[in-house]
């Protein structure tokens, strides 16, 4: 009941063929459009095929139903691989690439581990991801706000689009599709990191070190416990906790010895001291999904850009950038700023620099992606539409469109600890600990950027410069949703850390002073310590599968019966708001944004007479036992009338009770 919704082996075979098409297409593209090492081509091709599949699925989904859109997308990626071949350049495929099949086994093992851990978690806004996966798989591309049908949704949905393909073609449940997609993308990001690391360090061990650094690197909040009691007490005064940290403890001082009260977390709680509001370990970030896809795009850029050949390479990189914009707009904006700044620096070097060979292809791949990001859907598209609407003076803005404002005095922003002002010594101290020792990578990366600029490693320079913007923007600018701006800081710190590892790798044998080597070891160990601690509680989730918050086995049974079976224009009422969207693939109208319920919806849930529900525009009602008992005798009697048709009911003997689905379209007449 957890994994497969319907279809069985037939649909799994279809998913295998679909995946084979876009995987083979990506492999052929990197084989013919780039000069990669044989060991790099299989997994890098998998990444290129994935981004191409998401890119074409999104475009086709604007006009077609999901199933044909996904099949056409996979076919187009395979066709792109075929047309990238030039007979004069050699054979269509090189079977010797498959000597590196062990990388695929490693990917499968890592992805399987992440998937099993994710099966036992319901963390990081599953109330947002699950409805999106279900609605997109049912055909809502680009997605509307699932809690306010008809309103455009300002959200990066590339990750959910990939999960929707698993649900639609493979007939997985929404939650299993979400877990598998998170596991696969997380594993792919780590393997790509290892491939890039092996290239830049010329060592397999170096590649493994960079992959491990990516997995475990985090902030240093835990190290606050080493401060003297009086200093710690003084430094933590006046700090207002945000979000899940505020749910965990009244003060930061108390929180340093408290479990992290995160909804849907592992059976053994993660200590709040080892969580982080700026740079959580990627082992946790895997379970958000978009972070993995953003890192896949980053490593594809780092692997592909130095090995480009001609215009075919530029086209492929433009597709990668476009998916990057659809998956993680903040990181995409940072890399765009980094590339533009890098181009200006190269231009300032004079006409003798290789502008046409290196910089022009970079800008040539970025510009189409920027233009596509304005129309392809997602956050950037909706922000652009919102600005156009405001300038035109008519209409409504998309849900959750944010605005920037000047921040003074400057501050370090943590999604857990709030705004930590630089003009207050205690808050500055806490902010530096929150960032952690990874901040020491900043001078290393900036120093190396000068050398890379002289040597023509422009992709590395662009990433370093993107970090300058990523760390600087949150310091001086406010955002309407402050916790979201921390993604910029976290991305900058992680990128600088990743780039500093190969620099230290080459410096290591040249260092004669033992204390310097000891310092590097301590830096790496303390940077990854929180990630190692977090891994322990996560492993306890592997043997405790859960569907999700507010989702039970009876909901799975109803999903199997009614998902994507209702009227496509249906509006469904549920006392749990988003739950029925997951079960049916149809939207609701219950909230102004993800945190603010509509008063009319609240009133309707308190008194859901079938006639009143229908008059409010809802066509179906999804009822659980608890709501049924709480709604009152008059409301219950209204569903016994002939106008209210019971479409189906599922019951279990546990506390979950029953689930019923009513058709109330005739009750409003």
Extended beta strands in 115-240, E state: none
pLDDT of the residue at 63: 95
Strand segments, DSSP code E, in 300-457 are 404-406, 411-414, 418-421
Q: What pLDDT score does 87 carry?
A: 83
Q: What value does the mean pLDDT of the chain take?
A: 93
Catalogue the long-range contacts made by 84-89 (C-beta closer than 8 Å, 24 or more residues apart): 84/28, 84/29, 84/32, 84/33, 84/312, 85/28, 85/32, 86/32, 89/32
The pLDDT score that the predictor gives to residue 353 is: 59
Report the predicted TM-score, pTM, of the whole model to 2 decimal places: 0.95
Collapsing DSSP to helix, strand or coil, 46 comes out as: helix
The pLDDT tens digits of the residues spanning 473-501 come to 999 998 877 778 899 999 999 999 999 99
Give the count of alpha carbons within 13 A of 544, CB side only.
13
**Helix (H) or strand (E) segment spanning residue 623:** strand 620-624
Q: What is the pLDDT at residue 503?
A: 96
3-state secondary structure of 196: helix
pLDDT one-digit tens code per residue, 218-274 = 999 999 999 999 999 999 998 999 999 999 999 999 999 999 999 889 999 999 999
- Residue for token pair 């649909």: 11
d(CA 563, CA 452): 53
Q: For residue 598, give the 3-state DSSP assignment.
A: coil
Residue 530: per-residue pLDDT: 97
Helix (H) or strand (E) holding 592: strand 591-593
DSSP 483-527: HHHHHHHHHHHHHHHHHHHHHHHHHGGG---HHHHHHHHHHHHHH
Question: Which residues of the chain have a pLDDT value below 70?
Answer: 351-356, 393-403
Span 305-316, pLDDT tens digits? 999 888 899 999
**Cβ(123)–Cβ(261) under 8 Å?**
no
Contact 131, 146 (CB under 8 A): yes
d(CA 158, CA 319): 13
> What are the structural domain ranges in the chain?
553-663
CA pair distance 157, 132, nearest whole angstrom: 8
Please list, residue by residue across 282-312, b when 16 or more beta carbons sit within 10 angstroms of its beta carbon and e when fewer do: bbbbbbbbbbbbbbbbbbbbbbbbbbbeeeb
Using CB atoms within 10 A of its CB, is residue 593 exposed (0-12), middle (13-18) or buried (19+)? middle
User: Using CA atoms, how far apart are residues 601 and 578, in angstroms rounded to an integer?
Assistant: 12
Contact (Cβ atoms closer than 8 angstroms) between residue 57 and residue 70 = yes
């Amino acid at each position: 009941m957890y994994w497969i919704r319907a279809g069985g082996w037939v649909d799994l075979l279809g998913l295998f063929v679909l995946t084979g098409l876009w995987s083979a297409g990506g492999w052929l593209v990197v084989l013919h459009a780039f000069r990669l090492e044989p060991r790099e081509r299989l997994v890098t091709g998998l990444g290129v095929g994935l981004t191409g599949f998401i890119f074409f699925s999104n475009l086709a989904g604007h006009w077609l139903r999901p199933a044909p859109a996904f099949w056409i997308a996979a076919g187009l990626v395979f066709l792109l691989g075929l047309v990238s071949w030039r007979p004069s350049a050699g054979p269509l495929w090189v079977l010797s690439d498959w000597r590196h099949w062990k990388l695929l086994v490693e990917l499968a093992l890592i992805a399987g581990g992440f998937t099993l851990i994710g099966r036992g978690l319901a963390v990081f806004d599953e109330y947002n991801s699950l409805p999106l996966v279900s609605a997109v798989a049912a055909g809502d591309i680009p997605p509307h706000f699932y809690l306010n049908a008809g309103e455009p949704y300002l959200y990066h949905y590339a990750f959910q689009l990939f999960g929707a393909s698993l649900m639609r073609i493979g007939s997985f449940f929404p939650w299993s599709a979400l877990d598998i997609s998170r596991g696969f993308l997380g594993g792919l990001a780590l393997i790509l990191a290892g491939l890039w690391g092996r290239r830049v360090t010329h060592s397999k061990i170096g590649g493994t070190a960079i992959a491990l650094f990516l997995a475990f690197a985090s902030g240093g909040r835990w190290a606050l416990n080493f401060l003297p009691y009086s200093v710690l007490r003084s430094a933590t005064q006046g700090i207002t906790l945000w979000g899940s940290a505020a749910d965990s403890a009244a003060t930061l001082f108390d929180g340093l010895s408290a479990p992290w009260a995160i909804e849907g977390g592992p059976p053994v709680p993660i200590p709040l001291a080892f969580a982080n509001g700026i740079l959580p370990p990627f082992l946790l970030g895997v379970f958000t999904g978009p972070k993995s896809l953003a890192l896949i795009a980053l490593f594809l850029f780092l692997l592909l850009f130095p090995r480009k050949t001609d215009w075919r390479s530029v086209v492929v990189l433009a597709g990668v950038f476009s998916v990057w914009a659809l998956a993680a707009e903040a990181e995409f904006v940072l890399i765009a700023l980094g590339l533009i700044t890098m181009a200006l620096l190269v231009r300032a070097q004079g006409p003798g620099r290789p502008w046409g060979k290196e910089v022009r292809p970079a800008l040539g791949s970025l510009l189409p992606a920027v233009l596509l990001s304005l129309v392809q859907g997602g956050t950037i598209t909706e922000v652009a539409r919102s600005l156009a609407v405001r300038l035109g003076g008519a209409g409504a803005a998309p849900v959750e469109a944010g605005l920037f404002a000047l921040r003074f005095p400057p501050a370090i922003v943590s999604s857990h600890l709030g705004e930590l002002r630089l003009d207050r010594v205690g808050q500055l101290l806490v902010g530096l600990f929150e960032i952690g020792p990874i901040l020491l990578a900043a001078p290393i990366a900036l120093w190396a950027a000068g050398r890379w600029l002289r040597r023509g490693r422009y992709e590395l320079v662009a990433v370093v410069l993107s970090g300058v913007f990523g760390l600087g923007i949150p310091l001086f600018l406010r955002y309407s949703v402050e916790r979201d701006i921390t993604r910029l800081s976290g991305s900058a710190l992680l990128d600088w850390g990743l780039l500093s590892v190969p620099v230290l790798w080459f410096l290591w044998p040249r260092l004669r002073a033992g204390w310097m080597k000891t310092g590097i070891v301590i830096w790496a160990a303390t940077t990854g310590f929180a990630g190692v601690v977090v891994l322990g509680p996560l492993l306890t989730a592997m043997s405790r599968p859960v569907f999700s918050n507010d989702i039970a086995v009876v909901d799975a049974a109803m999903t199997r019966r009614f998902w994507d079976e209702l009227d496509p224009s249906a509006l469904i009422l549920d006392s749990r708001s988003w739950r029925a969207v997951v079960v049916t693939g149809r939207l609701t109208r219950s909230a102004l944004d993800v945190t603010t319920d509509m008063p009319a919806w609240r009133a309707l849930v308190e008194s859901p007479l079938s006639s009143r529900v229908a008059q409010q525009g809802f066509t179906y009602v999804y009822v659980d036992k608890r709501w049924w008992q709480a709604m009152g005798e008059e409301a219950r009697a209204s569903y016994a009338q002939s106008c209210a048709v019971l479409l189906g009911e599922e019951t279990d003997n546990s506390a979950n009770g029953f689930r019923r689905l009513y058709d109330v379209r005739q009750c409003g007449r």
